[in-house]
């Protein structure tokens, strides 16, 4: 099926070739057309449109009559079958010795009558909930927290690491290790972290998963009192809190992590203390252009990255032949987004 504009363009090209001395058959062949097709298109002196969509097609002899079609609809909408799909209606009718139409015909009729959707008394399923989206342009704007298990001295025994990180700088701003999991420990950790960071009167978003210690009523009351806006991941979607999950993986895969578990709660706390100090002050994080979280948290990264840029520019001027393009980009990382909205084609759409 060729559209009218494409037909007119093809006929124009063939006519121009003919006027230049070309023969009709070779000119049509180049465009993938036959001479008969060209003649049919130009039969009336103008380029005709494709009439196939407008053609009258005979009704098949075996098609359902109006009465039979209505019988199918009445059956689907009857009290007995109103909540059942055709896949169950057709077998039930066959058990009674009744055949109205095939299952595919049932579906086609319902679709044509705009009835091929949720049927019955049950509520229509809710559309998927979009993830919580937040952005941070500086420290202490968006905090992420979670709880993970640390293996104990025997199989099945665990210690619980409560951890809060800053989204902008990736710094561990608060942590504790306990022998049990409770909302009391979570509440106290948030309070101590906010006091240590000195951001009591600053609007903060605290994002976490749906664990009961993080969503307990006492925790909600404490967050409201401190002016903190709670945010939660979608149920059973760990990627919604990806920054903390990534940090937990780093924690458990560093060479010093004890493979056989921690012998005691004290040992677990001492190890996490050393890890947090190394992570904040020595670990050059790839997500923030290889500066430490502490340097980013205290705005020291701008001077460090500017010095690196200067070193690279000097090296390029010294040996320009070794550089085929620009030097490495040491620009400080800007706004950090938690779960940015994504377009269907894979792009990222920043929420307003």
pLDDT tens-digit series, residues 104-142: 999 999 988 888 776 666 666 677 778 889 999 999 999
Cβ partners under 8 Å of residue 208, min gap 6: 144, 145, 146, 214, 215, 230, 231, 232, 233, 241
- Say if residues 94 and 100 touch (Cβ distance below 8 Å): no
Question: Worst-scoring range by mean pLDDT, 228-232, 242-246, 340-344?
Answer: 340-344
Give, to the nearest 10 degrees, the angle between helix 183-197 and helix 217-226: 10
Tens of pLDDT, residue by residue over 2-41, are 777 788 889 999 999 989 888 999 999 988 899 999 998 8
The one-character DSSP state at 285 is B
Report the predicted TM-score, pTM, of the whole model to 2 decimal places: 0.65
**Local structure of residue 59 (DSSP, 8 states):** P
187: closest CA among 145, 132, 234, 233?
Answer: 145
Quote the CA–CA distance of 11 and 5 in Å, as a whole number.
10
How far CA 150 is from CA of 155, 161, 182, 262, in Å, comes to 11, 7, 16, 8
Q: What is the pLDDT of residue 129?
A: 78
**Residue 204 host element (H or E):** strand 204-208
Phi, psi dihedral angles at 32 (to 5 degrees):
75, 25
Q: What is the pLDDT of residues 90-106, one digit of tens each?
A: 999 999 999 999 999 99
Question: 290: pLDDT confidence band, cut at 50, 70 and 90?
Answer: very high
Residue 46, CA atoms < 13 Å, CB-side half-sphere: 5
Residue 1 confidence class, pLDDT cut points 50, 70, 90:
low
**What is the rounded CA–CA span in Å between residue 24 and residue 39?**
10
Domain ranges, ordered by start, for the chain = 4-41, 66-112, 134-282
Residue 7: HSE in the Cβ half-sphere, 13 Å Cα cutoff = 16
* Alpha-carbon gap, residue 284 to 290, rounded angstroms: 4
Short-list 127, 101, 103, 134, CA closest to 116: 103
pLDDT at 350 over 50: no
Rounded to an integer, the average pLDDT of 201-224 is 90
* Residues 74-82, mean pLDDT to the nearest whole number: 89
Q: Which pLDDT score, from 0 to 100, does residue 190 have?
A: 95
Residue 351's pLDDT band (boundaries 50, 70, 90)?
very low
Residue 239: Cβ-neighbour burial (10 angstroms; 0-12, 13-18, 19+): exposed
Confirm if 169 and 293 have CB atoms less than 8 A apart: yes
Would you say 170 and 280 are in contact if contact means Cβ atoms under 8 Å apart?
no
How far apart are the C-alpha atoms of 138 and 300, rounded to whole Å? 13
Query: What is the arithmetic mean of pLDDT over 223-243?
Result: 88
What's the DSSP call for residue 255? T
CATH architecture of 134-282: 2-Layer Sandwich (3.30)
Scan for tokens 């084609």, then name that residue.
345
Per-residue pLDDT at 247: 96
pLDDT at 142: 96
- For 336, half-sphere exposure in the C-beta direction (CA atoms, 13 angstrom radius) is 22
């Amino acid at each position: 099926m060729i559209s009218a504009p494409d037909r007119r363009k093809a006929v124009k090209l063939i006519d121009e070739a003919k006027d230049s001395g070309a023969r009709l058959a070779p000119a049509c062949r180049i465009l993938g057309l036959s001479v008969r097709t060209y003649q049919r298109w130009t039969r009336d002196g103008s380029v005709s449109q494709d009439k196939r969509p407008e053609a009258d097609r005979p009704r098949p002899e075996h098609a359902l009559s109006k009465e039979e079609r209505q019988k199918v609809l009445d059956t689907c909408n009857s009290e007995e079958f109103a909540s059942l799909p055709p896949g169950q209606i057709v077998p039930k009718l066959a058990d009674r010795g009744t055949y109205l139409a095939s299952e595919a015909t049932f579906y086609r009729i319902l679709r044509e009558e705009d009835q091929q959707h949720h049927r019955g008394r049950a509520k229509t399923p809710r559309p998927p909930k979009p993830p919580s989206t937040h952005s941070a342009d500086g420290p202490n704007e968006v905090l992420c927290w979670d709880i993970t298990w640390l293996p104990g001295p025997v199989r099945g025994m665990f210690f619980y690491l409560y951890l809060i990180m800053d989204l902008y700088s990736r710094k561990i701003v608060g942590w504790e290790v306990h022998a049990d999991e409770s909302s009391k420990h979570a509440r106290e950790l948030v309070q101590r972290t906010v006091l240590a960071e000195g951001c009591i009167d600053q609007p903060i978003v605290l994002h976490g998963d749906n664990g009961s210690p993080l969503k307990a009523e006492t925790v909600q009351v404490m967050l409201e009192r401190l002016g903190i806006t709670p945010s939660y991941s979608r149920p059973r979607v760990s990627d919604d809190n990806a920054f903390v999950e990534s940090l937990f993986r780093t924690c458990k895969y560093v060479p010093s992590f004890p493979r056989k578990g921690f012998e005691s709660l004290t040992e677990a706390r001492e190890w996490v203390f050393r890890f947090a100090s190394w992570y904040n002050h020595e670990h050059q994080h790839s997500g923030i252009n290889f500066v430490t979280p502490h340097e980013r948290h205290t705005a020291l990264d701008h001077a460090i990255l500017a010095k690196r840029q200067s070193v690279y520019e000097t090296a390029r001027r010294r040996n320009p032949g070794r550089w085929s393009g620009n030097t490495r980009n040491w620009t400080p990382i800007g706004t950090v987004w938690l779960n940015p909205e994504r377009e269907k084609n894979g792009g990222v759409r920043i929420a307003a």
